[in-house]
Every structure is written in structure tokens, then in C-alpha cells.
Amino acid sequence: MLIAVEGIDGSGKTTIVRFLVEELRKRGYDVVAFKEPTDSEYGKRIRQILKERKVSPEEELELFIKDREFNVRNNILPALKGGKVVIMDRYYYSTIAYQGALGLDVERIKMLNEQFPKPDLVVILDVSPETALKRIKAKRRPDRFEDVEYLRKVREIFLSLKNNVVVVDAERDIEEVKRDVLKVVIEHLGESFNKDAKL
Ligand code: TMP
């Protein structure tokens, strides 16, 4: 079972992923979480270029794909083969939305990501760019990916994605968001495990 948690910066993804891991473990699931960009050499280069703004969107795209290849081969596939529930803090939906919002062709980005395992469930934490930026600014200085116009485009693309996607209103208090996400995930896990049991 592969679950991706997606959303613009400041949507609360990281808090929600941490919460999900804890709650699912309490319920006896063997669960692991991975984050993209990773800590691989590609991930480190990505973090560097996000600060410097020097490479083209196309080069950025290539790096995110390379980082994902690394993550799938070394982390995601082994965990899935070991029967674990895998929770992703960002996955290829982020590439579609963020690199798409830089002007790259969304269909081509989707195609380049078809080689990777498809999530069984994608939870999009939906928040307005204004709220997201307010949350970010309360903690630190926003970076290049974090201006209202850009985040508006990213959000629009996220909300246009359809397959296995559940959109959760993340404008609300985090406790309400947690409750809703957990409900969606538990229902999904129950369904798929029941389905397997019938085979
Ligand atoms: P993070 O803040 O969740 O660690 O992500 C770092 C930035 O990387 C964030 O602004 C979104 C961006 N990003 C992309 O542009 N494309 C991608 O494929 C991924 C995974 C992240």
C-alpha cells in the first residue's frame, strides 16, 4: 500500500505524515515514511538549486526524476515488497504540479513518472497560498517556491489531478485535518485489506 501526501508548502504535510505514521503504528500496521526530495546526492543538489535559482526548469525536472529513481529503487520498492504501508511526504504529483507551474508540459511530466509505482491513495492537503504563506512566514523566510502567484498555479494543478486522489481542506485547524486524513486512510487500508482477504 502506497500513500502519498501532497500539497503546497505550508499545507501541513510533514505534520500530517508524522501523525499518520504514529496512528497507523498504534493500530498495528507496519508503516514507513519517506520524503522527497531525499537526502541522496540528487536531493542535496535539488536543495542547493532551489536556493540559487540558476538552473532551467528542464534540468530541475531531470534532477527530481533522478532523485525519485533513487528513492524508488532503494527505499520505496524494498518497503512495498516487505509488505509495509509506505507513506510519502511528496511524490511525483509534486513534480507535475511544481514543475508544471514553471511552464513545463504537464502531460509529459506525467509520462516521465509512469515508470514509478502508482500510489493507491493520494491525499492532497488543500490550502490557499495566502494561508500557506502566512504559516511559512511565522516560521522562516519564504524561498523561491513560495510566492502567491506561483503557489496559486501549483495548487491549481494539484486540484486538477484525479486518479486515486482525495482532497482534504487543510485551511482548518490541524486537529480537524488530522482527523479527516486518518479517517480517509483507515477506510482505504480497510477496503484494500478486505479485498485481498477475499482472494
Ligand atoms: P519540501 O519543502 O517538502 O521539503 O520540498 C522542497 C521543495 O521542493 C518544495 O518547494 C516543493 C519542491 N518540489 C518540486 O518542485 N518538485 C518535486 O518533484 C518535489 C518532490 C518537490
Q: Is the CB of 64 under 6 A from ligand 1?
A: yes
Q: Is 12 in the pocket of ligand 1 (CB under 6 A)?
A: no
Query: Which residues lie below 8 Å from residue 180, measured CB to CB, with a gap of 6+?
Result: 168, 169
- pTM, rounded to two decimals: 0.94
9 lines ligand 1 (CB under 6 A): yes
pLDDT at 198: 42
Cβ 11 vs Cβ 128: under 8 Å: no
Domain 2-188, architecture per CATH: 3-Layer(aba) Sandwich (3.40)
Question: Please, are residues 96 and 106 in contact by the beta-carbon 8 Å criterion?
Answer: yes
CA angle 125, 131, 134 (to 5 degrees): 125
Please answer whether residues 37 and 67 qualify as being in contact, where contact means their C-beta atoms are separated by less than 8 angstroms.
yes
User: Any idea where the domains of the chain sit in the sequence?
Assistant: 2-188
Residues of the chain with pLDDT under 50: 195, 197-199
pLDDT tens track for 44-58: 999 999 887 789 999
Angle at 41 between CA 19 and CA 53, to 5 degrees: 90
**pLDDT value, residue 199:** 40
pLDDT of residue 197: 46
What is the CA(28)–ligand 1 centre distance, in A? Answer: 30
